[in-house]
Structure 1
């Protein structure tokens, strides 16, 4: 059993870096690097039992496709949504992401909530 009880699944490494900078608690962040094969998805899901899993993907077609896949294969996961006007997790303002994460009871650095 590792030290992470929360896991956020994002699409790319730029998303991971962005989210990581906002977090104020240890959270494992897994990158799918876009669409994902069923075998890789099964692998991920298998490692996530007994953890709080959050899906945070871009508000675009590939993000929606990935989200649908997770809803089908891993219905226990919670889905976090960024505002469609930002389209991508990596380019969404820190304050917006911090608010989304905080809404899921994920601890964030307070300064990101004060910005903007």
Structure 2
């Protein structure tokens, strides 16, 4: 039995740390640090081939810009959106993040639901 390999792409280290504590399955979390070069994207695209890729970025201008770029380069990726009220992944409440991750078919620790 092969386990599905999932990858979540986030903007910053604080987003990565926040998401990591919620997830209850093996998931790679990749930080773009807000921007990503075409070279890095090409490398990523190769690494991400045949993996389930999820994009989770901030609900602000820079997050939307990054999301558009990732949409072009990784058209198969699944996009997860936080409520615009929270603006940033790192400042969104754990229960909100756990809920949207669960809806994206990513297992989370029950205590966050």
- What TM bracket, shorter-length normalisation? over 0.9
Q: CA deviation at 1:45?
A: 1.2
Match in the other structure for 1:88: 88
TM-score normalised by L of structure 2 = 0.95
C-alpha distance in 2 between matches for 1:26 and 1:78: 17
Q: Which 4+ residue blocks in structure 1 deviate beyond 4 angstroms?
A: none
1:1-116 to structure 2, matched below 5 A, reads 5-113=5-113
C-alpha distance in 2 between matches for 1:86 and 1:4: 30
Q: How many residues align?
A: 111
TM-score normalised by L of structure 1 = 0.93
Unaligned 5+ residue runs, structure 2?
Answer: none
C-alpha distance in 2 between matches for 1:58 and 1:33: 12
Unaligned 5+ residue runs, structure 1?
Answer: none
> CA RMSD for the aligned pairs?
1.0
Q: Is the 8 A contact 2:16 2:31 kept in 1?
A: yes
Q: Is the 8 A contact 2:55 2:80 kept in 1?
A: yes
Q: Secondary structure at the match of 1:45?
A: helix
Superposed CA offset, 1:76-103 (max 9, x none) = 0000000000000001000000000000
